Amino acid sequence: MLGNRWPIILPISYHLIVAIFIFQSALSYWYTISVFNKKKFVSLPTAGHKPVPRATFIVSAYLPNEIPVVEATLLNLLRNVIRPANGIEVILAYNTPSLVPIELKLRELAYQYPELILANAYGSRSKSENLNYAIDLASGKMICLMDTDHLVSPDCLPLAWRWLDEGYDVCQGLCKIRNTDASAVAGLVGVEFEVMYGVNHPSRSILFDTSLFGGSNGFWKADVIKKVRFDKDMLTEDIDSTLRGILAGYRFVHDREIVSTELSPTTVGSLWFQRKRWSQGWFQCSVKYQWATWQTKYLNLAQKFLWTTLLMWRVVYDVVSSLLFPVLLAFWWRAGKVLLPIDAYIIFALVFTLFSGPFQTFVAFKNASRPRVPVWDYFSYGFFVWAYTLFKTFVHLVAIRDEFAGERSWVVSKRSDR
Amino acid sequence: MELNLVLERLRQLKAADLNALAIYSDLQTQVEDKEILVLLSRLVKDEARHLAMEKEIFSLLRHGAKV
């Protein structure tokens, strides 16, 4: 294949690592194609056809950092969301090291809007603690979790309820970035979110009938979230609660018609810290729950396969794929020059892998709901996705290292209103 | 006054009273002056009483009391 001048270990390692790239790309193609399966919502016989119940929106905020955006988010909920017959309540669960002027403004808002409940989670030092505090206050039968920067569509409640009425326990909506023009990083993340929420999540939900709660724009049955709650020791409390929910037999679904827009990090630094926290959190969950997902009776074989690709496989892929570089270096060192050892298999892998990103980007563009990210951003993303993937793989490796080193700092993102 | 509005205002106040209770309770652990501690203790009891009374009002409203 590559000639017989190499020690046998080199071509074997090389081809095995490339096989991992092929498998990962094959998954990507599968999910991308599957999104064209337009699973229109048709009520199953199990649907109770009950009216939309009283709903609680919980907005979790760390006030000093999120002051610019919190008022807009609250007003969007209070003014625009279509109410069910029994009304809504909006609980702002926040913590702040000291009284800030916005608190006085929020009290005026609460006087103007009786549906707004200000819940200072005194003593809380984390989003999880804020959420748990608010969950105990909630009176709604459906609880909707929103981050401080999320502007959700007015029709979210009936759209989410039709899934919960049918027998699902949690419905995750689609999250879009609305500040894609703020910087090149925000534009990149905008397209990435279209791929993630517009292609990957819905196709997995369609193919495997399982999904996850992504941290915001998630709609829970109240009795379910009051049992599952959130763990303050986990960096990605959303994935952790998803897995505990799944292992308790609760069902998750993704609905891309429930749209909420949010703000992206605008600098490489802030993106780095956000993605490192996500990666470290996912790694924590992989270590904690992979075995349990294989054992549970609540997942079928296909669902176990999916969760394996999301948990253990993700870690294996990150670690093993990065070994490509030392293997190439070994070839160069052996040959005494820089070269790309290729054969038909490697050429196929190169084309297959490199094309998966642009293909997925194109499908995300075709599938995107309005407002769409500018076309130029899709072109840029499709062209540079291979580099962005390398960046994210590096972030994952650093996150794994940090987790082993016991470094779990949570750098709170500074929010601006654009 | 509409029942829903009464309930919503009560829920707002319940959250505020819970918050006040938490702050007063925390202050009790941080203050050493005896006179202030006595006053804080009374404030904690006041807030707890507010919460109990609000709970009673909720119960009455749920059982059909008119507003």
Average pLDDT in the A321-349 region? 89
Measured in angstroms, the CA of B4 and the nearest CA of chain A are apart by 9
Query: Which residues lie across from A170 on neighbouring strands?
Result: A220, A252
Measured in angstroms, the CA of A78 and the nearest CA of chain B are apart by 13
- B12 and A137 in contact by Cβ < 8 A? no
A96 and A239 housed in the same domain: no
- Provide the chain A residues 77-96 that lie in CB contact (below 8 A) with chain B: 87, 89, 91
**Is position A72 within any domain?**
yes
Are A143 and A220 in contact by the 8 Å Cβ rule? The answer is yes
**Is position A332 within any domain?**
yes
A187 and A167 housed in the same domain: yes
Q: Scanning every residue of chain A, which has its alpha carbon at the shortest distance from the alpha carbon of B10?
A: A114
Q: How many domains does chain A have?
A: 2
**Is position A219 within any domain?**
yes
A188 and A89 housed in the same domain: no
A123/B contact by beta carbon, under 8 A: yes
Chain B positions in Cβ-Cβ contact with residue A118 (cut-off 8 Å): 12, 15-16, 19
Range of the domain at A136: 54-140
Give the DSSP letter string of A269-295: HHHHHHHHHHHHHHHHHHHHHHHHHHH
Chain A positions in Cβ-Cβ contact with residue B18 (cut-off 8 Å): 119, 137
pLDDT value of residue B1: 65
A130 and A252 housed in the same domain: no
Q: Look at residues B6, B15, B16, B9 and name the one whose alpha carbon lies nearest to residue A134.
A: B15
Q: Scanning every residue of chain B, which has its alpha carbon at the shortest distance from the alpha carbon of A89?
A: B8
| Domain end call among A92, A116, A140 | A140
Are A134 and A124 in contact by the 8 Å Cβ rule? The answer is no
B20/A contact by beta carbon, under 8 A: no
Q: Which of A114, A122, A123 sits opposite B12 (nearest CB)?
A: A114
pLDDT value of residue A415: 54
A257 and A368 housed in the same domain: yes
* Residue in A122, A129, A139 to test binding to B, most B beta-carbons within 10 Å: A122
Number of residues that this document lists for chain A? 418
- The predicted-structure confidence for A74-93, as pLDDT tens digits, reads as follows 999 999 999 999 999 999 99
d(CA A62, CA A333): 52
Quick one: pLDDT band at residue A367, thresholds 50, 70, 90? confident
Quick one: pLDDT band at residue A3, thresholds 50, 70, 90? low
pLDDT value of residue B3: 86
Chain B positions in Cβ-Cβ contact with residue A117 (cut-off 8 Å): 11-12, 15
Q: Look at residues A235, A246, A257, A342 and name the one whose alpha carbon lies nearest to residue A300.
A: A246
* Residue in A90, A96, A111, A117 to test binding to B, most B beta-carbons within 10 Å: A117
pLDDT value of residue A333: 86
pLDDT at A168 over 90: yes
- Stretch among A118-122, A140-144, A348-352 having the lowest mean pLDDT: A118-122
pLDDT value of residue A40: 57
Q: Which of B8, B19, B23 sits opposite A115 (nearest CB)?
A: B8
A111 and A190 housed in the same domain: no
Average pLDDT in the A380-398 region? 94
- The predicted-structure confidence for A23-72, as pLDDT tens digits, reads as follows 999 999 999 999 887 665 566 667 778 899 999 999 998 777 777 789 99
**Is position A415 within any domain?**
no
Tokens of A79: 């003014």
pLDDT value of residue A338: 84
Quick one: pLDDT band at residue A125, thresholds 50, 70, 90? confident
Mean pLDDT of all residues belonging to chain A: 91
Q: Which of A115, A122, A139 sits opposite B19 (nearest CB)?
A: A122
B50/A contact by beta carbon, under 8 A: no
| Domain end call among A86, A119, A140 | A140
- The predicted complex's ipTM stands at 0.81
B22/A contact by beta carbon, under 8 A: yes
Say what the pTM is.
0.91
Q: Which of B9, B16, B19 sits opposite A114 (nearest CB)?
A: B9
A13 and A59 housed in the same domain: no
Average pLDDT in the B30-58 region? 94
A220 and A155 housed in the same domain: yes
pLDDT value of residue A146: 97
A167 and A69 housed in the same domain: no
- B22 and A117 in contact by Cβ < 8 A? no
Judge residue A352's burial from the number of C-beta atoms within 10 Å of its C-beta, 0-12 exposed, 13-18 middle, 19 or more buried. Answer: middle
Average pLDDT in the A236-249 region? 97
**Is position A416 within any domain?**
no
A250 and A336 housed in the same domain: yes
pLDDT value of residue A4: 65
Percent of chain A exceeding pLDDT 70 equals: 94
**Is position A271 within any domain?**
yes
pLDDT value of residue A411: 64
pLDDT at B58 over 70: yes
pLDDT value of residue A41: 59
A369 and A336 housed in the same domain: yes
Give the DSSP letter string of A27-49: HHHHHHHHTTS-------TT---
Question: Looking at residue A154, what DSSP letter applies?
Answer: T
pLDDT value of residue A102: 81
Q: Which of A110, A122, A123 sits opposite B12 (nearest CB)?
A: A110
Give the gyration radius of chain B's Cα atoms.
Answer: 15
Q: Of A314 and A418, which is predicted with more confidence?
A: A314
B3/A contact by beta carbon, under 8 A: no
Average pLDDT in the A187-215 region? 94
B56/A contact by beta carbon, under 8 A: no
